[in-house]
Amino acid sequence: MADVLLLGGTGGLGRALVSRLLVDGHDLTLLSRDPVRARDLLPASVRLAPVDQLEELVPGHSVVVNLAGEPILGRWTAARWARIEASRVALTQALAGLVQPGSVWLNASAIGIYGDRADEELDHRSSAGSGRLAELCQAWEAPLTGARSRGVRSVALRTGIVLDPGSGALASMLFPFRAGLGGPMGSGDQWQSWIHVQDWVEAVAFAMSAPVDGPVDVVSPQPVRQREFASALGAAVGRPALLPVPAMALRLAMGPASELLLASQRVEPTRLLAAGFRFRFPTLAVALADLLAEAGARPA
């Protein structure tokens, strides 16, 4: 069992990970900007501390997991983009100077690092792409290189679209799709690399102990085109998903953040599979059926 220090553990993914790590008997300490609010969100066995105790607490832990970051969905105003960057890059830079040789550091990142790549098959060996998100992700991952050279096993969790009915992209799509107002976004040709939240949690727990180092793509082995995604979600909620949302409408409504929905990223989890990780929900239909049954979302 490890002594694990978590940042960003009050978020949608963090809370799911905390439950899983407690089952394994790990000793968890969580740094939060608001430990009082965090107390209401997390089990009593998780120790809490304010994030300004970073310098004191990081060196004493054998595993550090950083999931912190200003939410990226929504319109990127200048002030918001500054928070999106600072909460990821500055915090990760600070951690790089504190993690100890021999320890394990798992840091959030995203498949946004690949940019918009049409039908190209991508994995951790692919070059980074261009665009705001790709540049952000490169700056976010850069501090891990320095830590790795000091003997810290440093893993960038290049996460795809995590499907969780309670948070993130799926939560925001459920309402229109249940109302029969869903449909493909943009051309519908773009690839989406998704993962069931339970597989995401298992993959991160796996990366804590498996000998993986460097960037790891945390996505299911079966990415789909956006059109197939919309149709599978429509089928899963028992409603037609035929109303297309034109790319222009998304660009007008979301500005540059429309990249999140329109960029094509066909990513393979090569490193996880090579290390022996097995997905419980490799296909989208099975993942959605499970997630929506769990959420009680399927109409009678």
Residues 112-141, one symbol each (x = binds ligand NAP by CB under 6 A, - = not), give ------------------------------
Q: To the nearest whole angstrom, how small is the minimum distance from the Cβ of residue 109 to ligand NAP? A: 7
Residue 83 as a binder of ligand NAP (CB under 6 A): the answer is yes
Q: How far apart are CA 293 and CA 68, in angstroms?
A: 29
Nearer to ligand NAP, 34 or 119 (CB): 34
DSSP character for 284?
H
- Contact string (CB under 6 A) for ligand NAP, positions 185-214, x = contact: ------------------------------
Which C-beta is closer to ligand NAP: that of 71 or that of 102? 71
Q: Determine if 85 is a binding residue for ligand NAP (CB under 6 A).
A: no
Residues of span 35-54 touching ligand NAP by CB under 6 A:
38, 51
Specify the 3-state DSSP secondary structure of 228: helix
> Binder to ligand NAP among 5, 18, 21, 110 (CB under 6 A)?
110
Q: Does residue 241 touch ligand NAP according to CB under 6 A?
A: no
Nearer to ligand NAP, 42 or 230 (CB): 42
* CB 85, min distance to ligand NAP, A: 10
Q: Which residues partner with 196 through β-bridges?
A: 163
Which of 18, 54, 58, 87 binds ligand NAP (CB under 6 A)? It is 87
Burial of 94 per CB tally in 10 Å (0-12, 13-18, 19+): middle
Nearest to 195 by CA among 177, 171, 170: 170
Which of 278, 257, 281, 284 has its CA nearest to residue 191?
Answer: 284
**Residue 169 CB, nearest approach to ligand NAP (Å):** 6
Shortest distance (Å) from residue 297 CB to ligand NAP: 18
Q: What share of the chain is helix, strand, coil (3-state, %, to 5)?
A: 45, 20, 35
Helices 132-149 and 78-85: crossing angle in degrees, nearest 10, is: 20
Q: Does residue 183 bind ligand NAP (CB under 6 A)?
A: no
- Contact residues for 171 (Cβ-Cβ < 8 A; gap 6+): 164, 165
Shorter beta-carbon distance to ligand NAP: residue 67 or 291: 67
Taking the C-alpha atoms of residue 144 and residue 93, their distance in angstroms, rounded to an integer, is: 8
Residue 195, helix vs strand vs coil: strand
Q: Contact 266/223 with Cβ under 8 angstroms?
A: yes
The site for ligand NAP (CB under 6 A) is made up of 8, 10-14, 32-34, 38, 51, 67-72, 83, 87, 108, 110, 159, 161-162, 167-169
